[in-house]
Amino acid sequence: METITIQVDSEVAKLYQTAEINKQENATKIFNLLLKEILKPSSFEEIVSQIRQETANNGLTPEILAELLNDD
């Protein structure tokens, strides 16, 4: 992997910096997948399908994704 710098709002930065390491790792995986899919030319349906496939391949189950999205 390579490191890049991306600006996020202060709330996202604080949440990431204070999150447990496993949540940081999961967030990084999801963000990586999202950026990859968003930045390459594809239809929305292809993007959603590919993200689902790659998250499943990386062990990110729908339950884990839901927990990450709903975590306060």
DSSP-derived letter for residue 19 is S
Q: What is the SS3 assignment for 20-32? A: CHHHHHHHHHHHH
Q: Which helix (H) or strand (E) holds 38?
A: helix 21-39
Instruction: In whole angstroms, give the CA distance from residue 5 to residue 51.
Output: 22
pLDDT, tens digit (0-9, with 9 covering 90-100), for 7-66 = 999 999 999 999 999 999 999 999 998 888 788 876 778 878 888 888 788 887 778 777
pLDDT for position 48: 80
DSSP-derived letter for residue 10 is H
pLDDT for position 15: 95
> What is this structure's pTM?
0.56
pLDDT for position 11: 95
Q: Domain-by-domain residue ranges, the chain?
A: 33-72
